[in-house]
């Protein structure tokens, strides 16, 4: 795996974390919406508003997601990543994130903003499925808390956003969702 700050192969997240560049967010979401709608997107919703030129501008690089389902869905769907560009101001109708912080204890705050849900100026323009949502009883559901390593495959440049969303609005689902990202200076 690449060290996202230097491009060196074979490194773990330690290098980025030790520099205070890795952040996490946690959301408890009910009825995650379909990625192709803007209203109520989230779980967590990450907005990279670091549009200032110079050293404050970063790319938010998605490292991974985690998920635990606490109420199953009545709609066959999957959870995954979506996002889009053109977000020059914070998304509207936001709710405060449940928890967020630097993965280096005592590290600096994120240059990006993160919300439980919000309404970006445009809907997601892609969807990458990661987690199945079963329609069976929760007692027989095979989803367990897990971490999915994305290894930096999704890059959120300034004035863009990314979020965990659903392939179809999962009307009764309640999920505990986590997101980790690195903030790498724009060169």
Average pLDDT, the chain: 87
Question: Which of 105, 139, 103, 141 lies closest to 25 in space, CA to CA?
Answer: 103
Kindly state the average pLDDT of the residues 98-106: 97
Distance of alpha carbon 136 from alpha carbon 16, whole angstroms? 40
Q: Could you tell me if 180 and 23 are in contact, meaning their C-beta atoms sit under 8 angstroms apart?
A: yes
Distance of alpha carbon 132 from alpha carbon 77, whole angstroms? 7
pLDDT for the residue 99? 97
Q: Which residues pair with 30 in a beta bridge?
A: 174
Kindly state the average pLDDT of the residues 28-42: 92
Q: Could you tell me if 98 and 28 are in contact, meaning their C-beta atoms sit under 8 angstroms apart?
A: yes
Task: Work out whether the CA dihedral 129, 24, 150, 70 comes out positive or negative.
Answer: negative
Q: Could you tell me if 107 and 27 are in contact, meaning their C-beta atoms sit under 8 angstroms apart?
A: no
pLDDT for the residue 140? 57
Does residue 144 register a pLDDT over 80?
no
Q: Which range has the worst mean pLDDT, 27-36, 48-57, 70-79?
A: 48-57
- Tell me the pTM: 0.88
pLDDT for the residue 53? 57
Instruction: Considering only residues 71 and 83, tell me which one the structure prediction assigns the higher pLDDT.
Output: 83
């Amino acid at each position: 795996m690449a060290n996202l700050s230097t491009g060196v192969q074979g490194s773990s997240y330690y290098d980025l974390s030790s520099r205070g560049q890795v952040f996490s967010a946690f959301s408890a979401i009910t009825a995650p919406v379909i990625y192709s709608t803007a209203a109520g997107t989230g779980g967590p919703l990450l907005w990279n508003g670091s549009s200032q030129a110079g050293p404050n501008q970063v790319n938010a690089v998605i490292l991974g997601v985690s998920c635990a389902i606490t109420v199953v869905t009545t709609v066959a769907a999957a959870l995954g990543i979506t996002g889009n560009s053109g977000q020059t101001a914070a998304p509207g109708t936001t709710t405060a994130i449940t928890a967020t912080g630097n993965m280096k204890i005592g590290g600096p705050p994120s240059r990006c903003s993160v919300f439980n849900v919000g309404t970006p100026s445009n809907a997601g323009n892609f969807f990458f499925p990661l987690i199945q949502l079963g329609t069976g009883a929760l007692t027989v559901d095979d989803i367990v808390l897990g971490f999915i390593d994305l290894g930096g495959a999704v890059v959120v440049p300034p004035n863009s956003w990314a979020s965990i969303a659903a392939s179809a609005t999962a009307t009764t689902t309640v999920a505990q969702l986590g997101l980790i990202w690195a903030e790498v200076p724009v060169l």
